Structure 1
């Protein structure tokens, strides 16, 4: 690839586009080329391509094709056909009428190169930088963030199916002759010659348990053959073999019986966490996508990822706005990652782009005491978000004294209870890896106290409470007192608008279901979808028309179509 400037729109194509859209709004690709010009220069992708060999298609224009593909929710084949057939796309890409385009597989190869060289964020960085130049985005102001679940592209498997399919996936990447020569397992061909989803699982729980153990024994037998000194060493390095090893380790144990024979046993959930299943964030859910994870949120249970979308926003009336709301960041994580683990990374990305907000509106799943303090001290951001209230038994039952009722003297390291009694000890410590402070009262003080039952539910004869360090405790108390007021609720109402952005992403780009396997390529999809949504919003802004978020239901659209 030799970086070259994009050619100007072909005059013949330009005249045809203008003639066909005379008196109408030009299509999105035409508006993007006219307003933004060469949006993704080839040189920005140079590190992903070599300078020798056969000439390939311009990576910058392939990036723009991928953005248009997301904007219309097209497959690779449909996008390649649009490059050949549509005048608006030819105009945006600078192609003439005789250009034959490219084979649809080029798009897959382009995505692979982009992911392998860590350039997933490049198109969003370039487009946001252009919008900053045009005065449509700037640092400070207000932004809001929300998340939604994303279903992976692979089939959902239960534990029995996962074990069987992991064995079959490992066999598929080896040579058939080698498997036949080294394995002599009864019923092997019948169990592993076809995909798991081509036949039904046994209805009996006993038979399903027997099948699960059989799959486990088959997997261990295959691994023993792979790691046999006589086997080829390259077999051990196959990703499918390593995935099988992990699946077996997570779902089975092997113990020796009285005769010294190895017995395969399934792992089960245990109260004490003995030989049970590993945590959900570590458990592989599919041999074909080792990044996807099972997760649950309220009534939703899914296998996939999470998408976090941040956008600029304003509470100014629509007539006074100088720019549309635009997506400034997208983050894709495993489905088991909580929002508190994502927020600092979002701020780092916004800081890298020079788009840190002054106020960040979030739901209660994102902030913590540490993040409230860190966001203000490190990034100068005020988190506008409801924080979790006191989780003590008294607070949950709305009875008795809560922790906020105790007065803290940080200078003299002493706490005074509502009855006027002072604590006897102040002990800094570490709990779950975080610094904490434990203070306690004496038995003679708490024992005869008339408010003891409303103060603590402990069976001990004295009260003991745990505090965060001073900055975190004061931040939490301030946030809890502020969010109780009506004025704060009115301000926080601005956050709800991000749900419309999530709805637009699902309706326009079908972000609910991942197109590709793996976390990296799924994130690439979300980044290009975000750029596509920004261009759609800009096009509506340029033409002075309201944004169509496609809230109309499928049934309503069908009724409108029938009526027409």
Structure 2
């Protein structure tokens, strides 16, 4: 059953005796004064539907610990220890000075209950409701979008390690799988396969045998009994096929290159490999943020595998916003699909475009051609007109043979072919707006503010996620964002005197 906060103070109540020791304007001082208003008992009553059993830790206490833990980047053990021996935490969470707090496993227990509930991100939602109540975003019509890569919590695995681990999992969870005779390795041991690892032929033979074992398992266990078995077999099928190909002799070998969206660890199958730039790459996840640049408040946050494109997620973060926003973002959000989606939502797009490239250095590029969608034609810089085909190609062909501008246009023997995308008009308009400086002053003034919010997000060891999988780490991200937003609101003058408001904006 749900435990409720006791409003009557203990004899050694930390807040009554030591409140003056906690600095004003800190998150601890704010929680000491207002945690009941921020996290009322009824906000969490659906987590404990029964009235029987031992009462839980009061919701406002656990929620306050989660906020402080997220703010300081502490593990569960360290957070429980801080609640035991730090006066500021006792004051913030409503404990007595001689109270020992609770075991660190309580935090895992509460996260599990929250994750399985209808509103797993309710701590973030509670802080967002405070933002709405203050009206601090009223009239703020700009949102800056950006993302940052986060390291995963597992080791990247090679093909052999993944195959062995995936086969072991299937033998463990699928009925009858352990009875099947497999020859590549003794899967009942925790040891690595015993081969000469510096022998290329031995490694190739092992890969062929492991893939053959995996296929034999998949054929024998085609009808799994439950969801866990289906997931294990699905992962094995993915791992067995993503890195190998058949050679001329019919043996399985490691393929050259890297498969798109490759699974890099069977311990956390949702983590991915991603290049932020040619020299900067990470294995893990990507945190996407939508930020109001003047206040620094994060209005939306999402976590995805690192290989997920920025644009579609950015559009999702703005889904609940009213039309008429000026959306500021870098070129990662400049795809035609993203521009079209933002335009359809009624937003102004202040997004740095990808430059248009030319087939000849210094020559003509897409924006030098005139596209007439109404008549289905394209006119080149020389004035030649070509029809747009059903595949949205404009083939100039023989017209280029004697064209005096050919050397500046194409090196193709058959002449220039212009390929138009579905959202070509949005891309052209985006490049024109950037060239003409329609929004460049706003972009330079407000877009960099999202970098400040990302810096706040990843400090205190938050560059590395603490959990496995998108779902758990999404909860961790939302709690971290809630803590950052709460601290930002406090710095802006957040008070509660019957209603949430900012002292700096109203008396």
Global fold match (TM > 0.5): yes
Please give the per-residue CA displacement for 1:90-145, whole angstroms capped at 9, x wherever unaligned: 33333344654332112112222222335333222220111221233336422212
Ranges of 4+ aligned residues in structure 1 off by more than 6 Å: 198-201, 253-257
Seen in structure 2, the aligned counterparts of structure 1 residues 384 and 152 have a Cα distance that, compared at 3 Å, is same
Q: Distance in 2 between matches of 1:227 and 1:371?
A: 40
Where 1:393 maps in the other structure, the secondary structure is coil
- Paired residues, number: 490
1:247 pairs, out of 239, 260, 274, with 239
Q: Which residue of 2 aligns with 1:292?
A: 271
Q: Which residue of 2 aligns with 1:534?
A: 485
Q: Distance in 1 between matches of 2:198 and 2:450?
A: 45
Q: Distance in 2 between matches of 1:244 and 1:427?
A: 44
Q: Distance in 1 between matches of 2:199 and 2:331?
A: 44
1:466 pairs, out of 419, 422, 426, with 419
Structure 2 runs not aligned, ≥5 long: 495-507
Q: Which residue of 2 aligns with 1:237?
A: 229
Q: Which residue of 1 aligns with 2:197?
A: 202
Where 2:447 maps in the other structure, the secondary structure is helix
Seen in structure 2, the aligned counterparts of structure 1 residues 136 and 446 have a Cα distance that, compared at 3 Å, is same
- Report if aligned partners of 1:146, 1:308 keep a CA contact under 8 Å in 2: yes
1:76 deviates by: 0.8
When the two chains are superposed, the root-mean-square deviation of aligned CA atoms in Å is 3.6
Please give the per-residue CA displacement for 1:158-206, whole angstroms capped at 9, x wherever unaligned: 112211222334445579x994xx35556844x652255x999823333
- Report if aligned partners of 2:32, 2:94 keep a CA contact under 8 Å in 1: no
- Report if aligned partners of 2:334, 2:351 keep a CA contact under 8 Å in 1: yes
Please give the per-residue CA displacement for 1:336-394, whole angstroms capped at 9, x wherever unaligned: 1111221221111x42xx6x77212111001223432431331x322212111223413
Q: How is 1:343-354 mapped onto 2 (pairs within 5 angstroms)?
A: 343-348=314-319, 350-351=320-321
Does residue 398 of structure 1 match 2:369? no
Where 2:115 maps in the other structure, the secondary structure is helix
Where 1:484 maps in the other structure, the secondary structure is helix
1:427 pairs, out of 389, 407, 418, with 389
Q: Which residue of 2 aligns with 1:455?
A: 409
- Report if aligned partners of 1:294, 1:301 keep a CA contact under 8 Å in 2: yes
Does residue 515 of structure 1 match 2:466? yes
Seen in structure 2, the aligned counterparts of structure 1 residues 459 and 501 have a Cα distance that, compared at 3 Å, is same
Q: Distance in 1 between matches of 2:373 and 2:244?
A: 52
- Report if aligned partners of 2:2, 2:56 keep a CA contact under 8 Å in 1: no
1:518 deviates by: 0.7
- Report if aligned partners of 2:369, 2:378 keep a CA contact under 8 Å in 1: yes
Q: Distance in 2 between matches of 1:178 and 1:457?
A: 59
Seen in structure 2, the aligned counterparts of structure 1 residues 417 and 246 have a Cα distance that, compared at 3 Å, is closer
1:294 deviates by: 2.1
Seen in structure 2, the aligned counterparts of structure 1 residues 530 and 10 have a Cα distance that, compared at 3 Å, is farther
Q: Which residue of 2 aligns with 1:137?
A: 137
1:514 deviates by: 1.2
- Report if aligned partners of 1:151, 1:304 keep a CA contact under 8 Å in 2: yes
Does residue 193 of structure 1 match 2:189? yes
Q: Which residue of 2 aligns with 1:417?
A: 380
Please give the per-residue CA displacement for 1:25-73, whole angstroms capped at 9, x wherever unaligned: 3642222343565223343444444325423234454233212111111
1:79 deviates by: 1.5
Seen in structure 2, the aligned counterparts of structure 1 residues 533 and 456 have a Cα distance that, compared at 3 Å, is same
Seen in structure 2, the aligned counterparts of structure 1 residues 530 and 416 have a Cα distance that, compared at 3 Å, is same
Q: Distance in 2 between matches of 1:513 and 1:169?
A: 26
Q: Which residue of 2 aligns with 1:433?
A: none
Seen in structure 2, the aligned counterparts of structure 1 residues 347 and 219 have a Cα distance that, compared at 3 Å, is same
- Report if aligned partners of 2:26, 2:487 keep a CA contact under 8 Å in 1: no
